[in-house]
Every structure is written in C-alpha cells, then in structure tokens.
Structure 1
Amino acid sequence: MRYTSKFQTLADQARAQVQEVAPQDVDALMEGGAVALDIRDPDEHEKGHIPGSINVSRGKLEMNIEGVLPDLETTVLCYCNAHNRGALSAATLKEMGYVNAKYIGGGLNAWRKLHEHV
C-alpha cells in the first residue's frame, strides 16, 4: 500500500521514538508477560491475529487502553499488518506513560511468515 508522504513521515518519526521488536522474539516475550496489542480494526482482527493478543483499534486506543491495560509498566507489543500503525500506536502509548510500549517490526505479516511452516 502506498501512503502519503505526510503519513509516512509521521510513521517514521514514531518508529524513531519507540523500540522495534523482532517478530521472532514475540512468542518468548509474551510467555514472559508481554501483551501483544492488535491495533487494527475489529474486522481485521477477526480475520486473523497473533494468538493471545488483545484488540483495541487505533481509532479508540487513547480512550480505551487504560481500561484494558491499567499497568503502565506492562510490556506492550503493538502491531498492525506491517509496522506503521503499530509504531504510531506504541509512540502514543509512550506519550500516555506506558514506558515499555514497543512495536513488532513487520507486524502480523512478518510474524505469520515465521509461523507458516510450524
């Protein structure tokens, strides 16, 4: 998908502000207590997601996240299909005080590639 230059600049700035997590590290991080946060819309989530992830869409993230994840110390692994919305969401969570907000590099697409032949 081609994005506008302004959107891509915003997403690139977000990626520079938060830590990227490699898709191959996601399962171990979740086993250690990290929460995978699918920030895609509910219909996208229903079509497939990382097992055990929770879904709070990007459009309602700021309004709903505290009710879902009240602990600001939680390691949150934001993801979308690739990485732009995930990075934007992680940056927003950092601004809200979630000190361990990160995003999954390559998003769901990259995570799925690792699990295709498992």
Structure 2
Amino acid sequence: MAITDYFRKIASRSADDVRKIIDTMDPDEFSLVDVRQPDEYKQGHLPGAKLIPLGELPDRLEELDPNKPTLVYCAAGVRSRAGASILTRAGFAAAYSMEGGIRAWNGLVVEELPATGMAWFLSAQSAEELIGLAWLLEDGMRSFYLEIAKGLDRSEEAQLFMELAGAELHHKNALQKLYQHQSGKDPGVNSPADVLSNKPKEKYLEGGVLLSEAFSWAGKKDAGEILEFAMSLEVGSYDRYLSLREYFKDESSREVFGLLAAEEKAHLKRLTRLFEKSMSDTGSN
C-alpha cells in the first residue's frame, strides 16, 4: 500500500463555482465559512461568510449544520483545505475548499500549492501500521521545520520552527514507545514505519505532501506564507491524533494520542499568533 492510499482527496470548488452558488442558492441552503484570522476578515470577506478561524474550527463544529453543503475559504486555499478536512472527518455531508481562496475570488492568479488536497483517514489497517504512519509523518514534519528554521536565519519565526522540530522529535519517541506497547516488539534501530508494507523512500508531510515539494515551494515564499502553510500542517496533525484517539480502544493509547493532539493544538495557537504578528508587521510597513 502506497502512503497516499492512507489519505483521501478533499473536494474543492473554483471561485467561479462558489460565486454561482452564492448568487443562485438560498443562503439557508448552504454554509460559507471563512477560516482566516479576524483582521483578514475585516479587510474583506465573501458575502454571508461566517468567520471561524482555522485554529478554532475543531471546537466550534456545533455552530455549523453538518447536513448542509459547506464551503470553506481562506486567503489562497491553504487553510481552507485543512478546514474542509476537519469537517469531512467530523461527518459533514459535503465540505468543499474554495480553490485559490479570496485571492482567486478577486481575480488574482494563485500559484500551485505543495499540498495534495488530501485528508488523513482511517482504513482497516493494523494498529501497528497506523502508529508507523504517524511516526513517518512526524519524521517528515521535523525535517521540514529544521530546514525552514535554517532558511529564516535567526528570526522569531526561525526560533519557533526550531522548537516545533524539537516537539516533533518528542512525538516520534512517544509513538515509538506506543508501537512497542501495541506490538510487543522493540523496533530497535528501525523505526515503527518499517511495519508499513510499502514504506516510501522519500519523506512525507501531513496530507501526503512530499517533503521535497514542500521545500521547493517554501524556497519562494516569505515567512508569513510559510507560517500559514505550517498552520495547515499542524491542524492536520491535530485532526489525525483525534482520529487515532477514537480508533484505539485501550486507555493507554487513547491517553497518548490525546496528549499528542493537545500538543499539536498548542503548536497551532503559537503559529497563529506569530502569523497574526507577521500580518500586522507587513501592514505597518
């Protein structure tokens, strides 16, 4: 099984499609969600859009009707795909990410993003495989954060990414111990990911994003755009650990995944604060 088989495609709609929906459908027939930050929303938003910042979405699902088609948008389509992923896992009948975000809505050309638009999902795999996949993604995330920190020099953003890289190492260690607990085997010098039947040769991030493609994309972006991308990765990790917490029935595993989810949520909050600060700094220049 290839690593991308552990993910499913997130549905999307073009800005023109969303415009037609807004123009032709009754507002009560669908939900329109803006997952950007409040300051971004104040600068301009789609008519009738409800503001729920990405970092708050998992805790505010009850504000939305899961039976209605739900359109999610952000600035350029990065955060909205993560948001649509959360809604899909939560059982929403139809959740869509608006391609290109509000930039595409305004007629601007949006560069292709590195993410594949895929969401984590649980298939009938063994507990060991699921832990191995989680370990593999943590390894990719750590590599991404370390490299990004080097490229940002000694900035506040670089410091945060270094700290996140350290946290991902902690997560890898926690998953390795959990693998040993579940399987009764000590992976030793090998990683829990070795249990995967078709372990990839390249490293991956959340959503099945190739690490090499993420590096290539980030090399052309500023700190604010990289922070936004990291936010989408962290909310994906948070969602993944919530899924695993539901999947595993033994209390010790549920506790581990609950703690990991809480840490990913804390990472998301830190990234969000720094992202807001970068927006403020940009606006004052």
Q: What is the TM-score normalised by the length of structure 2?
A: 0.33
* Distance (whole Å) between structure 1 residues aligned to residue 68 and residue 19 of structure 2: 16
Question: What RMSD, in angstroms, separates the aligned Cα atoms of the two structures?
Answer: 1.9
* Distance (whole Å) between structure 1 residues aligned to residue 61 and residue 78 of structure 2: 19
Structure 2 stretches lacking a partner, 5+ long: 1-5, 109-285
Structure 1 stretches lacking a partner, 5+ long: 1-12
Question: Higher RCO, 1 or 2 (CA under 8 Å, sep at least 6)?
Answer: 1
Q: Does 1:42 align with 2:38?
A: yes
Q: Which of 100, 106, 109 is equivalent to 1:106?
A: 100
Q: 1:18: Cα distance to partner?
A: 1.3
| Structure ranking higher in helix proportion | 2
* Distance (whole Å) between structure 1 residues aligned to residue 82 and residue 48 of structure 2: 22
* Distance (whole Å) between structure 1 residues aligned to residue 99 and residue 80 of structure 2: 9
* Distance (whole Å) between structure 1 residues aligned to residue 106 and residue 30 of structure 2: 18
Percent identity among equivalent residues?
A: 30
Question: After the TM superposition, which segments of 4 or more aligned residues of structure 1 sit over 3 Å from their partners?
Answer: none
Q: Does 1:62 align with 2:58?
A: yes
Q: What is the TM-score normalised by the length of structure 1?
A: 0.76
Q: Which of 25, 30, 49 is equivalent to 2:17?
A: 25
| Structure ranking higher in strand proportion | 1
Q: 1:113: Cα distance to partner?
A: 1.4
Q: The residue matched to 1:113 in structure 2 has which SS? A: coil
Deviates more, 1:24-33 or 1:101-110: 24-33
* Distance (whole Å) between structure 2 residues aligned to residue 63 and residue 17 of structure 1: 23
Aligned twin of 1:96: 90
Aligned twin of 1:53: 49
Q: 1:48: Cα distance to partner?
A: 0.8
Q: Which of 58, 71, 82 is equivalent to 1:77?
A: 71
**Paired residue total:** 99
